[in-house]
């Protein structure tokens, strides 16, 4: 069964303290790995799609990387506005539906 596991469940950082979030997956025939950001009371907001091992994508203070078994979301010098829940997801099997991890709740303190 396709699975996505995110760690840690929650992470508290001080402003400027860099760290990484992990997303490990088991899926037959990866057709992309997706990162989303979700703020309280809102729907997830698309961040990145990664398709192959070794691929990297960046957006402001965020950089996503992909290996054959996991993806990392690196946050460099975070700011309080980066506080959110970060979700990763993979397409299930040959379908278009996404399997989501439970997310990492990131809190950045000023």
Q: Which residue ranges make up the site for other proteins (CB under 8 A)?
A: 4, 31-32, 34, 36, 41-46, 49, 87, 89, 91-92, 95-103
Compute the least distance from the CB of residue 4 to other proteins, in Å.
Answer: 8
Greatest CA separation found in the chain? 44
* Shorter beta-carbon distance to other proteins: residue 29 or 43: 43
Write the DSSP assignment of 58-81 as a string of letters.
EETTEEEEE-SSEEEEEE-S--GG
Compute the least distance from the CB of residue 102 to other proteins, in Å.
Answer: 4
Compute the least distance from the CB of residue 51 to other proteins, in Å.
Answer: 10
| CB neighbour list of residue 72: distance below 8 Å, 6 or more residues apart | 20, 21, 22, 23, 64, 65
């Amino acid at each position: 069964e396709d699975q996505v596991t995110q760690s840690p469940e929650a992470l508290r950082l001080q402003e400027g303290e860099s760290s990484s979030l992990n997303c490990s997956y088991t899926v037959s025939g990866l057709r992309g790995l997706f990162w989303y950001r979700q703020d309280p009371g809102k729907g997830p907001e698309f961040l990145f799609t990664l398709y192959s091992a070794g691929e990297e994508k960046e957006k402001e203070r965020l950089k996503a990387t992909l290996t054959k078994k996991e993806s990392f979301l690196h946050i460099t010098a975070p700011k309080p506005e980066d506080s959110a829940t970060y979700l990763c997801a993979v397409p299930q099997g040959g379908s278009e539906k996404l399997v989501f991890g439970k997310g990492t709740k990131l809190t950045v303190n000023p």
